[in-house]
Chain A
Amino acid sequence: MTTTGTDVTGPLPDDWTLPRLGRVNTEWFTSGKLLVQTCNQCGTRQHPPEEICHHCGSMDLGHTELGPNGTVHSFTVAHYAVNRALADAVPYAVVLVTLDDDPSIRIIGNVLDADPGEVHIGMPVTATWVERTDENGSVQLIQWVSR
């Protein structure tokens, strides 16, 4: 595993589940940038990306790069390992971050440089990317560090 912008790799095992790339999510999971899907016809943003604009119905969709700063909107600390592979990872915090550039966009992640007990609602964070590779190729997972 290699990381961008941080030396910390997060709470989950190195071989934990990765996102499956598909028709609309490849930029999100491979660009290493905060590219939010944006309608080329009407300018509406939507996340997660879809195959059609929910506002005007266009299928001509592009992206807007937003700033990396965000705020923890909610979180949970998982204490029960729902899979045996996570037995050594618990307790770990999962956060829901709103982007300061557009608080209507919320993103799930982990705060790489904080203990579970330090994570709280209102915590300022900034995006970073963690490169992960398996037999299907590489992805850039958006993650968070405190700021």
Chain B
Amino acid sequence: MEGRAVVVGVGESPYYKRGGASESEFQLACIAIRNAVADAGLTMADVDGFASYMDRNEPVRLSNALGTGDLHFTGQTFGGGGNGTAAAVALADMAVSAGYAECVVVFRSLAQGQFHRYGQAGKSRRAGGSAAYTSPYGMLSAAQICAMQTMRWMHDHGVTQDSLAEVALACFAHAQRNPRAVRYGSPLTREEYHASRWIAEPLHLYDCCPENDGAAAIVVTTAERARDCAQPGVPIVAAAQGLAHRGGGAAFTEDGFPTAHYDLVARQLWNRAGVKPADVPVAQFYENFTGPVLMAIAEMGFCEPGEINDFVADGGIQLGGRLPINTSGGNLAEAYIHGFGCVVEAVRQMRGTSTCQVDGADLSLVVAGPGFAPGSAVLFGRDS
């Protein structure tokens, strides 16, 4: 199922530590979108659609402020969080491939210094819905939720704390080559990882994504239109979103606990693309926390859960290893833009312009936020 839609532009705002941006979150969105459109060699008048996930900066305001052309498509995934990162790209793929729109911007802008901090939780007198079963017991944050999943998964498969560390070490190592990364110039050692404080066992500080301010965007258009653009089109080979039967229910009651919610995504993605995990030379795995990344690596089919310690050891997920992941530094060490930096980096790998380029890579995978349902993933290819 070779998609007809391609990515022709990528752009970012500067990335900041939380509270570091002098621009508003809306301005950060505008900067990233403007940069992506310019990168494509297009103008705002060409933009006729917007897609995102969980974003406050809605398309009517963006369209007016940026002076886009007439809009033909807007779409955003339901609820959730970073699990919608790749699904938002899929929305643009659908809109463009089906002819509803011709030039769709997919973006995410997130300034945690200006709004709610994802690492904290409000105190309410009463909690309703699924939170009624968790908040009264002090289970309140994404870190605590992913810690609960990770703890059981480590127990079931003999996964070591050092394997969690490998994810953080890969991200920080790759960020040292990326001047855009917030952690550029701040390497992490294994000793510093293990010495860092607990957030929620088994997650240390360096297992957890930071809070940042920034925005990232891509431009999706047709292969025909891309021929006149400034950049080679990077094809969207396949995308998938998945929620298994009785999956993702409140308070871990789902069938299959613990799961990162990627088994179903994997089956769809590999079938649509006509390739297998071993064909993929580079991947960006959304790190909310390191444990769910390991779960997603296994569920996507790169190894069995019981093989994960060996898969990630000895630089297995660093440049030159079995599967280099998060080559920009990812959410952990480039910046936490709710995962959209991972999409931009995956496109750069197909252009050959990553600061941590995997030589000869012809497929580039993005796996969105693990541990929250539904999961989503997108596979990019090379312009042929």
Contacts and interface: CB of A to CB of B under 8 A. Distances in A.
Co-assembled chains A and B? yes
Contacts of A146: none
Contact of A19 (B122, B126, B201, B202): B126
A20 to B, nearest CB: 4
Nearest to A47: B253
Contacts of B138: 11-12, 16, 78, 86, 89, 92, 94, 110
Nearest to B151: A74
Interface string A74-91: 111111101101100101
B201 A83 contact: no
A98 B384 CA distance: 53
B144 interface: yes
A66 interface: no
Contact of B251 (A20, A85, A107): A107
Interface string B127-170: 11010111111111101100111011001000000000000000
B120 interface: yes
A17 B246 contact: no
Given A48-B251, A54-B246, A78 B133 contact: no
A52 B95 CA distance: 34
Interface of B: 119-128, 130, 132-141, 143-144, 147-149, 151-152, 155, 197-203, 246, 249-253, 255, 257-258
Nearest to A122: B155
A29 interface: yes
Interface residues of A, number: 42
A108 B135 CA distance: 9
A79 B200 contact: yes
Given A83-B120, A108-B139, A110-B137, 10 more contacts: A17-B135, A20-B128, A22-B128, A25-B132, A74-B148, A78-B138, A80-B119, A80-B197, A82-B141, A94-B139
Contacts of B134: 108
Given A77-B198, A94-B138, A107-B251, A17 B125 contact: yes
A140 to B, nearest CB: 11
Interface of A: 11-12, 16-20, 22, 25, 29, 47-48, 54, 73-80, 82-83, 85-86, 89, 91-92, 94, 96, 104-110, 121, 134-136, 141
Contacts of A107: 133, 251
A91 to B, nearest CB: 8
A18 B126 contact: yes
Nearest to B257: A106
B121 A121 contact: no
A76 B136 contact: no
Nearest to B205: A80
A91 B200 CA distance: 9
A109 B132 CA distance: 12
Contact of A20 (B127, B143, B144, B255): B127
A94 B149 CA distance: 12
B125 A80 contact: no
A76 B124 contact: no
Contacts of B148: 74-76, 94, 96
A82 B136 CA distance: 13
Contacts of A54: 246
Nearest to B120: A82
Contact of A17 (B136, B143, B253): B136
Nearest to A121: B155
B254 to A, nearest CB: 9
A109 B201 contact: no
A1 B199 CA distance: 29
A83 B138 CA distance: 10
B121 A29 contact: no
Contact of A134 (B125, B127, B137, B155): B125
B140 A82 contact: yes
Contact of A74 (B120, B125, B152, B199): B152
A18 B136 contact: yes
Contacts of B139: 76, 78, 94, 108
A83 to B, nearest CB: 5
Contacts of B133: 19, 48, 107-108
Contacts of A135: 125
A121 B151 contact: yes
| Interface core residue of A54, A83, A85, A86 (most chain B CB under 10 Å) | A83
| Interface core residue of B123, B149, B202 (most chain A CB under 10 Å) | B123
Contacts of B255: 104
